Amino acid sequence: MGYVFDFKDAIAYEQWFKRPESKIAFELETRLMRSLLQPTRGESVLDIGCGTGAGLLAFLEMGLVVTGLDPSTYMLNIASQKVANRVDLYRGYAEDLPFDDNSFHYACLFTTLEFVNDPQKALEEACRVAKDRIFIGVLNRYAIKSIQRRVKGIFTPTIFNHAQFFSVWELKQIIRKIVGKTPISWRTVCQLPSQSGKIATGLEQSKIIQRCPFGAFAGMVVTLVPRFRTRPLTMRYHARDTSGAATG
Residue 16 lies in a domain: yes
Q: Per-residue DSSP letters for 52-85?
A: TSHHHHHHHHTT-EEEEEES-HHHHHHHHHHHTT
Residue 240 lies in a domain: no
Each of the 248 residues of the chain gets a pLDDT tens digit; together they read 689 999 999 999 999 888 988 888 899 999 999 999 999 999 999 999 999 999 999 999 999 999 999 999 999 999 999 999 999 999 999 999 999 999 999 999 999 999 999 999 999 999 999 999 999 999 998 877 766 766 666 667 777 788 889 999 999 999 999 999 899 999 999 876 655 556 566 677 777 778 888 888 999 999 998 755 556 666 665 656 555 555 54
Identify whether the C-beta of residue 114 lies closer than 8 Å to the C-beta of residue 166.
yes
User: Where in the sequence is the domain holding 95, given as residue range(s)?
Assistant: 7-223
65-70 and 104-110 beta bridge pairing:
unpaired
179: domain CATH number is 3.40.50.150
Residue 239 lies in a domain: no
The number of distinct structural domains making up the chain is 1
Residue 246 lies in a domain: no
Residue 232 lies in a domain: no
